[in-house]
Structure 1
Amino acid sequence: MFIYYGIAALVIIIDQLTKWLVVTNMEVRERIPLIDPYLSLLSHRNRGAAWGMLEGQMWLFAIVTIVVVGGIVYYFQKEGKNNPLFAWSLMLLLGGAVGNFIDRMVRGEVVDFVSVLVPVINYDFPIFNVADASLTAGVILVIIYLFLDEKKNKKDKVA
């Protein structure tokens, strides 16, 4: 069971380490091309939620994050311990939520730094960080888990 919390801890450590590297080694708006022009490091700060929504509402983010973290821990204890896919998804969500929460509480803003240009449609994807990627992966895994669980439940009802 504690190995799963280690997943969340690892996400938080990698997230905070990468953000620290960006803050200490790059100026805001500085860009370092990795695969030009499709992938680069771009030092950016976000005082809101996804895509800058609700800028400056730190009290709201604090309350929502505390409730979400409580919900994640509850569902992990209730359901996740016995289901590896669900446990992984919850711990990725936990690590991502806590990683960005630390930024909001310590810095008053979230450090973003991964910039992606989607080539086929020439779409400049919103800048993100390790915590955001972890949250996205966690949501995708929850959806997969729910889909598989529903399929299993239908199969069990037929049998």
Structure 2
Amino acid sequence: MQNKGQLRLFLVAAASIIVLDQVTKLWVRNNLALGEVVPQTSFLNLVHHENTGFVFGLLPGQVSLPIATAIAVLIIILLARHYLSSKTALSNVSLGLLFGGATGNLIDRLRLGYVVDFIDLRLWDDFHWPAFNFGDAAIVAGVILFIYSLYRTGLFARVYHHGRASKD
């Protein structure tokens, strides 16, 4: 596939996630009171949660550190996309998911001072996974797909063998 096609995959994945993330968060803010829980199934609730911290609500109340971290992550994603020796459709989609998810959450932090989370999964009994949003889900999916794309292209094997050769 041509370089323009690869770039298009990256941009479509990123833009799709940003739009989905922001539209769903807007719906939550307009339709659910803060803290409101709306059961959907036996294991899924919609909630309105404001995350002022990092992942899983760690370090609540931080403002500049999560913003700086998000900007650094976005730069790293762009550098990875630019310098990746084997640019496949899968690597471009995965990096687009990462970029879109991180951008969606950064938009929240810059505009609102917190990230809107609304998906609440009950895994068993009373254990709930920390609330998340579509941007978060895209980041997780992007990481998994990116690692898989590196495995498929043999990059992990080349790095492993190169590292072992230099130690021997």
TM-score (norm 1): 0.87
Distance, in Å, in 2 between the alignment partners of 1:75 and 1:26 is 38
> What is the identity percentage for the equivalent residue pairs of Structure 1 and Structure 2?
35
The equivalent residue for 2:11 is 5
Distance, in Å, in 1 between the alignment partners of 2:91 and 2:59 is 30
1:14 aligns with 2:20: yes
Tell me: CA distance 1:39–1:52, structure 2 relative to 1, closer, same or farther (3 Å).
same
Give the stretch that moved more between structures: 75-84 or 109-118. 75-84
The equivalent residue for 2:144 is 140
The equivalent residue for 2:89 is 84
Distance, in Å, in 1 between the alignment partners of 2:68 and 2:156 is 35
Q: Does the 8 Å contact 1:96/1:135 carry over to 2?
A: yes
> Aligned pair count?
153
The equivalent residue for 1:51 is 56
TM-score (norm 2): 0.83
Distance, in Å, in 2 between the alignment partners of 1:129 and 1:97 is 11
Q: Which amino acid aligns with 1:10?
A: S
Among candidates 130, 144, 153, match of residue 134 of structure 2: 130
Provide the aligned C-alpha RMSD in A: 2.0
Distance, in Å, in 2 between the alignment partners of 1:6 and 1:96 is 13
Tell me: CA distance 1:149–1:3, structure 2 relative to 1, closer, same or farther (3 Å).
closer
